[in-house]
């Protein structure tokens, strides 16, 4: 995969970085969004495809991006399609830090050491390639302003930004209300981005154990006294342990 273009996880992270404070907006939901963004990026690369509310590997060929290829290999090892909500809700040890460190190596951000409460070491990240950050933001602004259906990558980025709650960070206050509404509406322009965004929101709402029902399933009548059995929980493999973090990263 060529490095002239940022991946969706990288773009989502750059959108979330506050240029004034060097911290990331919505850190907890952002971690879920990064896992979801990996799925969309792999789908755009032709490595996975949606199978209902599940994700199936259609080509195990590496992309050339180590972090994406790690996710692809974990999906391949499952041997069967995995529900998007289970994948996104699974443990993602250090995923945000992995991408922040990558952006630092690429010269996209600059790490600034500090302390929390004068005791705990912290690291904040300031964007250095502001032109790229502005270009990413301009794509969203254009899609919101013009109402023209965006390309799948921009539509997926908008869906993920809405799902993790970046709307108020990108378009704050009452004056940003209409833009936040349009950002939410862009979710319909990319099926994979929409599937993943809904899965991210389901995880945040605690709706991981039950699968989404189709209208046909919802309309079926159960027998007298019958109770629907929940789908057995499927384990989601964690990414390889990267060791404990000695520093508290941007939050």
User: ∠ CA(105), CA(7), CA(35), 5° rounding?
Assistant: 100
| Number of Cβ within a 10 Å radius of residue 165 | 18
pLDDT in tens, 23-35: 888 888 999 999 9
- pLDDT (0 to 100) of residue 41: 97
Predicted confidence at residue 1, as pLDDT, reads: 41
Q: Give the whole-number percent of the chain exceeding pLDDT 90.
A: 51
Which residues lie below 8 Å from residue 178, measured CB to CB, with a gap of 6+?
Answer: none
Residue 191, SS3? helix
Q: Among 207, 199, 218, 208, which Cα is nearest to 159's?
A: 199
- Per residue in 136-163, pLDDT (tens digit) is 999 999 999 987 889 999 999 999 999 9
What pLDDT shows up at residue 124?
80
DSSP 189-224: G-HHHHHHHHHHHHHHTT--SSPPPPHHHHHPPPPT
pLDDT mean values, one per 10 residues, the chain (251 residues): 71 88 84 96 96 94 95 94 94 85 88 72 78 90 89 94 94 94 90 94 78 43 42 39 37 46
Nearest residue to 22 via CA among 93, 162, 122 = 122
Nearest to 43 by CA among 159, 137, 123: 159
pLDDT for the residue numbered 132: 87
């Amino acid at each position: 995969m060529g490095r002239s273009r940022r991946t969706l996880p990288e773009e989502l992270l750059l959108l979330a970085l506050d240029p004034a404070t060097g911290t990331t907006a919505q850190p907890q939901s952002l971690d879920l969004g990064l896992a979801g963004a990996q799925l969309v990026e792999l789908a755009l690369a032709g490595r996975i495809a949606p199978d209902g509310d599940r994700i199936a590997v259609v080509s195990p060929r590496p992309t050339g991006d180590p972090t994406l290829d790690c996710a692809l290999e974990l999906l391949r090892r499952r041997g069967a399609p995995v529900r998007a909500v289970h994948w996104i809700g699974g443990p993602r040890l250090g995923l945000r830090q992995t991408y922040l460190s990558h952006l630092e190596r690429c010269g996209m951000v600059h790490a600034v050491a500090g302390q929390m409460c004068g005791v705990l070491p912290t690291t904040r990240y300031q964007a250095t390639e502001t032109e790229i950050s502005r270009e990413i933001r301009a794509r969203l602004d254009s899609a919101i302003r013009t109402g023209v259906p965006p390309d799948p990558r921009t539509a997926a980025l908008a869906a993920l930004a809405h799902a993790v709650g970046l709307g108020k960070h990108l378009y704050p206050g009452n004056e940003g209300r209409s833009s936040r509404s349009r950002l939410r509406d862009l979710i319909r322009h990319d099926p994979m981005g929409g599937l993943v965004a809904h899965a991210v929101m389901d995880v945040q709402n605690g709706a991981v154990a039950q699968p989404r029902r189709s209208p046909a399933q919802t309309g079926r009548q159960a027998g007298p006294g019958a109770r629907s059995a929940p789908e057995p929980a499927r384990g989601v493999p964690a990414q390889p342990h990267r060791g404990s973090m000695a520093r508290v990263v941007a939050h």
